[in-house]
Amino acid sequence: MPIIEVSKIRKTYGKTVAVDEVSFAVEEGEIFGLIGPNGAGKTTTMECVEGLRRPDRGTISVLSLDPIRDARALQQKVGVQLQQAQLQKRITVREAVDLWASLYPRPVDGDALLDRLGLSDKRRAWFMTLSGGQKQRLFIALALIHDPDVVLLDELTTGLDPQARRAIWDLVREIRARGKTVLLTTHLMEEAERLCDRVAIVERGRVIDIGTPAGLVRRHCPTQTVVLETTDAGAAAHFETIPGVESISWHDSRCTIRGTGGDLVTHVIQCLAEHRIRVTDFRTELPNLEDVFLTLTGHSIRE
């Protein structure tokens, strides 16, 4: 049984179709990402899973419960970080954590959590005095205070500096290591690639494809490229024999080898070693999720 099952949901705002026939399932212990550009429908989908919005059509189950009908039961088991949230200006970090902890029978240690999120020295600070990234981290702390089985994170690292971002990634991996299930949204392809076990690519309210980041790359962008520099006169003839090669082009001593099959880089290295070809530069250009997005939609995620 999947932990989260979304089946053919549709959600419109007036004439805007925000979510159109979206289906996906998140398995236990998985980090699953909804990725797509601004306005793709990620938050709307999340809000339906959170029980904050009722889809016009389709069904959702979370831990075999209905997000709207069973909202109370789910509150104890699900942690939610919203894309946009506010607290009173003059509540301190410590007070917010204590207040949230008081809502649950078995909260985790708030101090340890703040420490993990790099907020220890902000314990006595008012909410209004926190930076955007610090507020973001506080909301992640509040989402985790009751040690939920399912964690829903909408744009978890937006506005965070690279160091804080890495710390949050580690934290999310730790959550998974304890057997919890994570559904998150991001428009950062690097984040999806490094953090998610599987992703659903969403565009204009539709899921275009679902898979592991590496699997999606293999499926949609199988071409790999090796660029190297050599003045070895015999090299060209040897490169022709490399398995999986589709094209070879030369600019003076710079050679660009393109091919498919997933083992191109190994085969090139083997060829160089076997024929003792001397190279003065060597680099690979391997496709990533960004390229998948470009291939599937015809435009970059940032456009």
Ligand X SMILES: Nc1ncnc2c1ncn2[C@@H]1O[C@H](COP(=O)(O)OP(=O)(O)OP(=O)(O)O)[C@@H](O)[C@H]1O
Contact footprint for ligand X (CB under 6 A): 13, 16, 18, 36, 38-44, 83, 187
Which 3 state secondary structure label does DSSP give 94?
A: helix
Binding of Mg ion at residue 44 (CB under 5 A)? no
Residue 36, binding choice from ligand X, Mg ion, none, Cβ under 5 to 8 Å by partner class: ligand X
Q: Angle CA(154)–CA(52)–CA(204) in degrees, nearest 5?
A: 55
Binding of Mg ion at residue 45 (CB under 5 A)? no
Q: At closest approach, how far in Å is the CB of 43 from Mg ion?
A: 3
Indicate the length of the chain as a whole number: 303
Residue nearest to Mg ion (CB): 43
- DSSP type of residue 280: S
Of 33 and 259, nearer to ligand X (C-beta) is 33
Residue 38, binding choice from Mg ion, ligand X, none, Cβ under 5 to 8 Å by partner class: ligand X
Q: What whole-number distance in Å separates Cα of residue 259 and Cα of residue 245? A: 4
Q: At closest approach, how far in Å is the CB of 117 from Mg ion?
A: 22
Of 187 and 198, nearer to Mg ion (C-beta) is 187
Q: At closest approach, how far in Å is the CB of 240 from ligand X?
A: 46
Of 46 and 268, nearer to ligand X (C-beta) is 46
Q: Could you tell me which stretch among 34-42, 70-78, 98-106, 212-220 binds Mg ion (CB under 5 A)?
A: 34-42
Tell me the helices (H) and strands (E) count for the chain, helix number first. Answer: 11, 13
* Contact (CB, 8 A) for 149 and 78: yes
Q: Could you tell me which stretch among 5-13, 58-66, 82-90, 170-178 binds Mg ion (CB under 5 A)?
A: 82-90
Q: What is the DSSP string of 198-217?
A: EEEEEETTEEEEEE-HHHHH
Which helix (DSSP H) or strand (DSSP E) does residue 13 occupy? strand 4-13
Q: At closest approach, how far in Å is the CB of 44 from ligand X?
A: 3
Binding of Mg ion at residue 43 (CB under 5 A)? yes
Binding of Mg ion at residue 136 (CB under 5 A)? no
Residue found by looking up tokens 């959590």 in the block: 113
Q: What whole-number distance in Å separates Cα of residue 112 and Cα of residue 103? A: 18
Q: At closest approach, how far in Å is the CB of 18 from ligand X?
A: 3
Of 42 and 122, nearer to Mg ion (C-beta) is 42
Q: What whole-number distance in Å separates Cα of residue 147 and Cα of residue 100? A: 12
Greatest pairwise CA separation for the chain in angstroms: 75
For helices 132-144 and 93-102, the axis angle rounded to 10 degrees is 20
Q: At closest approach, how far in Å is the CB of 163 from ligand X?
A: 23
Residue 187, binding choice from Mg ion, ligand X, none, Cβ under 5 to 8 Å by partner class: ligand X
Residues at the contact surface with Mg ion, assessed by CB under 5 A: 42-43, 83
